[in-house]
């Protein structure tokens, strides 16, 4: 085959980017090896220092190459180099600059790069602060980097075995594309447009949520590296101190990332909530739970020497669970059970090897030193703080295990299949599907977890490490717990008048979260005396309690207010216990729902969004007085061409104590897209009638009069462009029960080829009327068939044509006419002709005389009602005489073919879902407090460590 010289391709950035990735890959391996050797040589030996230096530089080169590769991708995206598959897949011409970031991490390679990027940043920090832990931790980190970079390397190790998928591949060489006939065209680039970013991701949360989450994922790696380093150097307790700020940082950032994901789901998706126990959401929650467990065992280990192994286990597991969640979301195994999962990219085996490697490493390290580590012989006392902190960590681990079990069902099904094929049996009847109702399934277990955590986080604060001097402290302990218990009990009763839990378990959870808040606050006031430096854990634990309160309030009392009790009564039988989530609103007709009078007032198209105005009037108990009014604006987003709706977006009214969340669940087909509208229109039974001006016809008891023909009609969906030929009609319609209403259909021919027929908005008669193309040809007379009469006139002159009295009333130097577009250098003037018909009606015509490029033109004017065509053909500057030409068409004799369909569906409605979430702010506030507590603890410890060293 002949080589094609493609036009306009930029191959250099792709080659550079790919080269940088290869350098980074090699750099990470080199760094891992050098740091390995540095770790195994003694600290101060010449060799050790040299290897450390080499490792450091290799890591820096690796990091800079990664920054370079990322920069290259952004360069390609900013310049819209669609010859690259990654750019083509995620960018489009219309995409605003701020969405380049989400476009970058929308794809698998971009999000891998984001993760790798954060590892580089964290690695740089480690190089600066880790001191004697630098070599071992960075050695482990570099191996992880090498694995991650291999995912996006895209080089062939064997002809059939490709390592990773590069983001720098060309579109014409990518899988499934290379054979397309498009690429036989050397100039294919000028013909393609990018696919652009999924509109669901065109949201500001998508600019900050993924980087935060990936920083969270990346930071889980660091405690893992420390754990490996500790066992590697056989310094089992030395790593416990430097690792703690890292773990706290990770807990805060990963937690924030998860909560931001919830905020995005709440604000941009329309499932009505912040958490849905989706497998991908779980995949990020589970490592976080384990990490939090690890932080607690780490604290125990620092203070007592117990739980060192536990800390090793927790940090290792947290990291492995990050890898596992990466595997779940990126291997395509979740397939149809999650909306967030990436599509398959052929990385399954690479991901499995990645997981296996980092499963084996800690096992080997542990095995190697199993006899060398001794924890205190004496068991933790049941009255000690460490005992209950460890129990708390176990509870978190337990929670993580339960979630992982259910999330892993697709993996288990795969394993069952693998086993089946091994023993030659079809075991697919063993398959289990994900729970029918995932939310209640997960909640059922997690309620107990939250309950235990709430109680533990309160009680444990009052205990002392090693249970020191328990006999002296017992009284004070019991007293304090008793007071907290009493206050919480009262508080629970008070809060319950608002939340109204009906089951015992919810009540118990309410109590437990109140207890967490009260006991921690009491500890802050009576023991810590408001010393904020020691209060970090108070923030986190109070935050937890507040968050659970928010979950309870918004979860139990989530109510669909889009439920019209009046309208439903009588229509359905009594046994109808369905959840009525949606309400049908007709434009301009207020409807009563959940204490509000809701009115759909209209909608406007702005850019790619159709924004609906829905007015809510809150009524007083008498159902008459309006106590409060506000407007909500849910909207629909459209595709680049604005032809199809892509997704509905919610709109929320926020109060301190609750949110009112609304979104559109159904809209008329003309708002959904051209295809749907055409299909609906195609189902109507149109019949054609010929109407002359003034004619009335009757169709099935409904009357229609053609009142007027317009040459300059307006219609909401019609945008006038140069060269359009357009006309409209005004048709009066009525029947025995409906007063006359004017229907205004419009027909336009664009670019002399494309015919657009616009029917008017829905009317009470239910008639839809379309104009037909013939009408436009019959209306606009062929100039050659007209017989013009010529008149020479001066300003103010009056003349008669066919009983029409025509007055040359004036001139218009700035003429407007649908068939005239002003250009630079035009000399254009219109004659203002006042025309009075025999019946006394007056209309004004404005024919234009135009000089353009030293040539003269005429732009005629046409008055359809009178049937007159007027031309302004010349002007004599000396005598000031105008030459005017007038011709008549008999418009009254024209038959306008009109299509009428009855029983047209309404197109002035929306279906709305409105949900009230009480106390949802407690959820956000609680989450923020929890993360803030961890950040505070981190900075306090960090500073203390710096001071001590």
Among 370, 475, 569, 578, binds other proteins (CB under 8 A): 578
Residue 8, token pair as written in the block: 């306009």
Look up tokens 């670019």; give the residue.
Answer: 751
**Are residues 28 and 146 in contact, defined by beta-carbon separation less than 8 angstroms?**
yes
Site for other proteins in 663-692 (CB under 8 A): 665-666, 672
As measured in angstroms, the least distance from the Cβ of 407 to other proteins is: 12
- For β-strands 754-758 and 746-750, DSSP reports them as antiparallel
Site for other proteins in 391-410 (CB under 8 A): 391, 394-395, 398, 401-402, 405-406, 409
Look up tokens 């492995």; give the residue.
Answer: 320
Among 387, 462, 758, 849, binds other proteins (CB under 8 A): 387
Nearest-angstrom CA–CA distance, 625 and 62: 69
Nearest-angstrom CA–CA distance, 107 and 482: 55
For 847, residues 6+ apart whose C-beta sits below 8 A from its C-beta are 830, 831, 833, 858, 859, 860, 861, 870, 871, 872, 884
Residue 390 or 923: the one with the smaller Cβ distance to other proteins is 390
Identify the three-state secondary structure at position 843: strand
Q: Which span sits near other proteins by CB under 8 A: 58-66, 428-436, 696-704, 752-760? A: 428-436
Among 186, 364, 415, 433, binds other proteins (CB under 8 A): 433
Among 234, 368, 431, 944, binds other proteins (CB under 8 A): 431
Host H or E run for residue 578? none
Residue 182 or 827: the one with the smaller Cβ distance to other proteins is 182
Note whether 275 binds other proteins by CB under 8 A.
Answer: no
Site for other proteins in 621-660 (CB under 8 A): 639, 641, 644-648
Site for other proteins in 85-124 (CB under 8 A): none
As measured in angstroms, the least distance from the Cβ of 207 to other proteins is: 18
Q: Which span sits near other proteins by CB under 8 A: 382-390, 416-424, 463-471, 498-506? A: 382-390
Among 30, 463, 552, 583, binds other proteins (CB under 8 A): 583
Among residues 541, 554, 548, 449, which one has the least CA distance to residue 492? 548
As measured in angstroms, the least distance from the Cβ of 116 to other proteins is: 24
Residue 91, token pair as written in the block: 């960018």
Note whether 719 binds other proteins by CB under 8 A.
Answer: no
Among residues 553, 441, 537, which one has the least CA distance to residue 934? 537
Cα 82 to the center of its chain, rounded Å: 24
Identify the three-state secondary structure at position 586: strand
Note whether 584 binds other proteins by CB under 8 A.
Answer: yes
As measured in angstroms, the least distance from the Cβ of 674 to other proteins is: 13
**Are residues 142 and 35 in contact, defined by beta-carbon separation less than 8 angstroms?**
yes
Among residues 726, 762, 760, 741, which one has the least CA distance to residue 862? 726
Among 36, 84, 390, 704, binds other proteins (CB under 8 A): 390
Q: What is the CA radius of gyration of the chain?
A: 37
- For β-strands 746-750 and 596-606, DSSP reports them as unpaired
Q: How many residues does the chain have?
A: 949
Nearest-angstrom CA–CA distance, 166 and 154: 4
Give 1: exposed, middle or buried? Use CB within 10 Å, 0-12, 13-18, 19+. exposed
Residue 51 or 82: the one with the smaller Cβ distance to other proteins is 82
Residue 942, token pair as written in the block: 């960090």
Residue 337, token pair as written in the block: 């059970």
As measured in angstroms, the least distance from the Cβ of 484 to other proteins is: 24
DSSP-assigned letter for residue 276: -
Among 581, 615, 720, 865, binds other proteins (CB under 8 A): 581
Kindly write out the interface string for residues 133-172 of this chain, putting x where it contacts other proteins by CB under 8 A and - elsewhere: --------------------------------------x-
Residue 399 or 889: the one with the smaller Cβ distance to other proteins is 399
Residue 347, token pair as written in the block: 């990385």
Residue 431 or 692: the one with the smaller Cβ distance to other proteins is 431
Residue 192 or 842: the one with the smaller Cβ distance to other proteins is 192
Residue 60 or 177: the one with the smaller Cβ distance to other proteins is 177
Strand partners, 741: 733
Among 26, 100, 177, 411, binds other proteins (CB under 8 A): 177
Among 10, 15, 234, 444, binds other proteins (CB under 8 A): 444
Nearest-angstrom CA–CA distance, 580 and 21: 54
Note whether 436 binds other proteins by CB under 8 A.
Answer: yes
Nearest-angstrom CA–CA distance, 573 and 371: 74
Q: Report how many residues bind other proteins under the rule CB under 8 A.
A: 62
Give 373: exposed, middle or buried? Use CB within 10 Å, 0-12, 13-18, 19+. middle
Phi/psi class of residue 272: alpha, beta or left (left: φ > 0; alpha: ψ in -120 to 50)? left
Nearest-angstrom CA–CA distance, 874 and 223: 89
Q: Which span sits near other proteins by CB under 8 A: 67-75, 441-449, 745-753, 883-891? A: 441-449
Q: Which long-range contacts (CB under 8 A, 24 or more apart) does 841-847 make?
A: 841/865, 844/809, 845/870, 846/812, 846/815, 846/816, 846/817, 847/871, 847/872, 847/884
As measured in angstroms, the least distance from the Cβ of 12 to other proteins is: 23
Site for other proteins in 337-356 (CB under 8 A): 343
DSSP-assigned letter for residue 565: H
Note whether 180 binds other proteins by CB under 8 A.
Answer: yes
Residue 867, token pair as written in the block: 């049937």
Nearest-angstrom CA–CA distance, 552 and 508: 11
Note whether 176 binds other proteins by CB under 8 A.
Answer: yes
Cα 701 to the center of its chain, rounded Å: 50
Residue 470 or 799: the one with the smaller Cβ distance to other proteins is 470
Kindly write out the interface string for residues 474-493 of this chain, putting x where it contacts other proteins by CB under 8 A and - elsewhere: --------------------
Site for other proteins in 23-62 (CB under 8 A): none
- For β-strands 609-619 and 635-638, DSSP reports them as antiparallel
Note whether 437 binds other proteins by CB under 8 A.
Answer: yes
As measured in angstroms, the least distance from the Cβ of 288 to other proteins is: 19
Look up tokens 């998860």; give the residue.
Answer: 258
Nearest-angstrom CA–CA distance, 308 and 338: 37
Residue 358 or 661: the one with the smaller Cβ distance to other proteins is 661
Among 432, 692, 738, 777, binds other proteins (CB under 8 A): 432
Site for other proteins in 191-250 (CB under 8 A): 191-193, 195-198
Residue 27 or 196: the one with the smaller Cβ distance to other proteins is 196
**Are residues 776 and 747 in contact, defined by beta-carbon separation less than 8 angstroms?**
yes
Note whether 515 binds other proteins by CB under 8 A.
Answer: no
DSSP-assigned letter for residue 84: B
Beta carbons within 10 angstroms of residue 375's beta carbon: 15
Q: Which span sits near other proteins by CB under 8 A: 376-384, 773-781, 835-843, 870-878? A: 376-384
Site for other proteins in 557-576 (CB under 8 A): 571
Q: Which span sits near other proteins by CB under 8 A: 115-123, 577-585, 687-695, 723-731? A: 577-585
Among 3, 336, 502, 622, binds other proteins (CB under 8 A): 336
Residue 391 or 881: the one with the smaller Cβ distance to other proteins is 391
Residue 433 or 620: the one with the smaller Cβ distance to other proteins is 433
**Are residues 270 and 661 in contact, defined by beta-carbon separation less than 8 angstroms?**
no
**Interface with other proteins by CB under 8 A: which residues?**
171, 176-177, 180, 182, 190-193, 195-198, 336, 343, 379-380, 382, 387, 390-391, 394-395, 398, 401-402, 405-406, 409, 431-437, 440-441, 444-445, 571, 578-584, 639, 641, 644-648, 665-666, 672, 906, 909, 911, 913
């Amino acid at each position: 085959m002949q080589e094609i010289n493609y036009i306009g391709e930029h191959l250099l950035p792709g080659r550079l980017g790919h080269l940088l990735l290869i350098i980074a890959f090699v750099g990470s391996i080199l760094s891992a090896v050098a740091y390995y050797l540095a770790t195994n040589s003694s600290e101060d030996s010449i060799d050790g220092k040299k290897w450390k230096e080499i490792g450091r530089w290799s890591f820096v080169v690796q990091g800079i190459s990664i920054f370079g590769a990322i920069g290259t991708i952004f360069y390609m995206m900013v310049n819209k180099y669609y010859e690259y598959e990654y750019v083509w897949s995620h960018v489009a011409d219309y995409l605003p600059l701020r969405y380049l970031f989400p476009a970058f991490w929308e794809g698998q390679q971009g999000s891998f790069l984001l993760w790798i990027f954060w590892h580089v940043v964290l690695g740089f920090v480690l190089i600066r602060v880790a001191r004697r832990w630098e070599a071992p931790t960075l050695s482990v980190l570099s191996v992880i980097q090498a694995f991650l970079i291999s995912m996006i390397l895209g080089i062939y190790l064997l002809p059939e075995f490709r390592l990773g998928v590069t983001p720098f591949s060309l579109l014409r060489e990518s899988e499934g594309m290379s054979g397309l006939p498009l690429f036989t065209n050397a100039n294919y680039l000028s013909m393609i447009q990018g696919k652009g970013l999924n509109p669901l991701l065109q949201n500001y949360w998508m600019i900050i949520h993924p980087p935060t989450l990936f920083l969270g994922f990346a930071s889980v790696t660091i405690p893992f590296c420390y754990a490996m380093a500790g066992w590697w150097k056989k310094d089992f307790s030395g790593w416990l101190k430097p690792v703690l700020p890292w773990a706290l940082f990770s807990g805060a950032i990963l937690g924030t990332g998860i909560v931001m994901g919830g905020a995005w789901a709440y604000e941009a998706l329309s499932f009505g909530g912040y958490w849905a126990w989706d497998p991908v959401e779980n995949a990020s929650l589970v490592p976080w739970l384990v990490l939090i467990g690890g932080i607690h065992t780490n604290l125990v280990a620092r203070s007592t020497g117990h739980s060192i192994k536990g800390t090793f286990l927790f940090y290792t597991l947290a990291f492995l669970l990050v890898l596992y969640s990466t595997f779940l979301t990126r291997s395509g195994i979740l397939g149809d059970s999650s909306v967030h999962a990436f599509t398959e990219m052929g990385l399954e085996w690479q991901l499995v090897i990645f997981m296996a490697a980092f499963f084996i490493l800690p096992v080997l390290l542990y095995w190697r030193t199993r006899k060398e580590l001794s924890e205190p012989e004496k068991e933790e006392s049941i009255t000690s703080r460490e005992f209950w902190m460890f129990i708390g960590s176990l509870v978190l681990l337990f929670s993580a295990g339960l979630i992982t079990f259910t999330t892993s069902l697709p993996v288990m099904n795969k394993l069952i299949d693998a086993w089946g094929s091994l023993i030659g049996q079809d075991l697919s009847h063993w398959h289990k599907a994900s729970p029918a109702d995932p939310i209640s399934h997960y909640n059922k277990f997690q309620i107990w977890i939250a309950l235990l955590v709430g109680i533990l986080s309160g009680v444990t604060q009052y205990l002392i490490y090693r249970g020191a001097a328990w006999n002296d402290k017992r009284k004070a302990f019991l007293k304090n717990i008793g007071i907290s218990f009493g206050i919480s009990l009262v508080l629970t009763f008070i809060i319950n008048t608002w939340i109204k839990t009906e089951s015992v378990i919810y009540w118990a959870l309410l109590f437990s979260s109140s207890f967490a808040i009260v006991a921690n606050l009491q500890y802050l006031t009576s023991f810590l005396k408001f010393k904020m430096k020691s209060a970090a854990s108070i923030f986190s634990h109070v935050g937890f309690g507040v968050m659970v309160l928010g979950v309870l309030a918004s979860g139990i009392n989530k109510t669909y207010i889009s439920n019209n009790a009046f309208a439903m009564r009588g229509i359905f039988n009594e046994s109808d216990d369905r959840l009525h989530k949606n309400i049908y609103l007709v434009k301009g007709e207020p409807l009563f729902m959940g204490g509000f009078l809701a009115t759909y007032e209209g909608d406007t198209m702005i850019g790619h969004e159709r924004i609906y105005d829905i007015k809510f009037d809150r009524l007083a108990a008498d159902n008459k007085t309006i106590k409060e009014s506000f407007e909500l604006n849910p909207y629909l987003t459209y595709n680049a061409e604005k032809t199809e709706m892509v997704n509905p977006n919610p709109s929320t009214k926020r109060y301190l104590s609750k949110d009112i969340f609304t979104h559109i669940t159904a809209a008329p087909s003309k708002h959904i897209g051209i295809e749907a509208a055409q299909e609906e229109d195609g189902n109507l039974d149109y019949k054609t009638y010929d109407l002359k001006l003034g004619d009335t016809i009757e169709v099935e008891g409904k009357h229609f009069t053609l009142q007027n023909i317009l040459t300059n009609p307006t219609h909401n969906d019609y945008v006038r462009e140069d060269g359009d030929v357009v006309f409209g009609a005004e048709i009066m319609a009525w029947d025995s029960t409906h007063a006359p209403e004017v229907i205004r259909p419009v027909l336009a021919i664009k670019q002399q080829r494309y015919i657009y027929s616009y029917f008017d908005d829905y009317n009470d008669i239910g008639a839809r009327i379309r104009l037909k193309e013939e009408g436009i040809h019959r209306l606009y007379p062929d100039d050659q068939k007209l017989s013009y009469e010529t008149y020479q006139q001066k300003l103010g002159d009056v003349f008669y044509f066919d009983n029409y009295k025509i007055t040359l009333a004036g001139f218009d130097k700035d003429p407007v006419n649908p068939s005239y577009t002003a250009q630079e250098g035009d000399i254009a003037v219109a004659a203002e002709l006042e025309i009075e018909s025999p019946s006394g009606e007056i209309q004004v015509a404005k024919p234009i005389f135009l000089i353009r490029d030293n040539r003269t033109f005429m732009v005629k004017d046409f008055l359809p009602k009178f049937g007159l065509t007027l031309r302004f053909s010349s002007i004599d500057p000396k005598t000031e005489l105008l030459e005017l030409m007038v011709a008549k068409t008999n418009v009254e004799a024209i038959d306008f073919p009109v299509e009428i369909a009855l029983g047209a569906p309404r197109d002035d409605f929306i279906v709305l879902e409105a949900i009230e979430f009480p106390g949802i702010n407690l959820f956000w506030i609680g989450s923020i407090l929890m993360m803030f507590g961890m950040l505070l603890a981190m900075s306090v410890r960090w500073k203390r460590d710096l001071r001590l060293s």
